[in-house]
Amino acid sequence: MKSNKNDAATTPDTQGEDPVPGRKTTVLENHGYTLGRTIGSGSYATVKVARSERHECDVAVKIVSKFQAPADYLKKFLPREIEVVKGLKHQNLIRFLQAIETTH
């Protein structure tokens, strides 16, 4: 399985209608990701396997809770982590594809 993180595009929190009556699609589903199993978790983030329709491959999605994460992490460390990961280029490392920011 080729694991990739998420092109640095920040997208507003939007949800659409799901083909299943009464169910709204998630933000990730609206961006072409189908979530799978959890492969890691911490105090305020969870990493899941997902399928990217756009990239036609399995990816790793890191979901960070804005409610559980400390403010300094969200303002200082998370942006720094994203910039570092975006710059990584090596066959044995993940490739950053996209960042999606929501209101929650």
- Binding residue numbers for ATP: 62
Annotation: binding site = 62
Q: Which amino acid does the sequence have at 29?
A: E
The answer to whether 4 touches 62, Cβ cutoff 8 Å, is: no
* DSSP H helices in 26-97: 27-30, 71-72, 78-87
